[in-house]
Amino acid sequence: MHRLGTAAPMPRWSSCRSGSSYSCSASRSRRGRPRRAPTARVDLHCHSTASDGEYAPAEVVRRARAAGLAAIALTDHDTTDGVPEAEREGATLGVRVVSGCEFSVKAPWGELHLLGYF
């Protein structure tokens, strides 16, 4: 439905055409409820032995896979040295590795940590 409550015409190129309104059978469950989009579990703040972590970058990726994660961000303190190793292991195991870093930043009120992803 459109914002105003009227049915919007479906584009000709769409495979979800049924009459003149949005109606895609793939988007509804058998009970008529909208289906949830598939979700993936990710951890966007992981450390390795490249800084203060307990495990080598490749082992972090292996443990992420064992935990059922689809992706991780390796965000060691003030370094990206572990990212290449993690990316290689991630490519082998099917775990997406996002390059990141936890920057130590001096502020007037003290030190803070800022996560950056690239």
* Percent of the chain residues topping a pLDDT of 90: 67
Residue 4 corresponds to which tokens in the numbers above?
């105003």
- pLDDT of 65-95, one tens digit each? 999 999 999 999 999 999 999 999 999 999 9
pTM of the predicted structure, to 2 decimals: 0.69
Residue with tokens 């965000």: 75
- pLDDT of 48-59, one tens digit each? 999 999 999 999
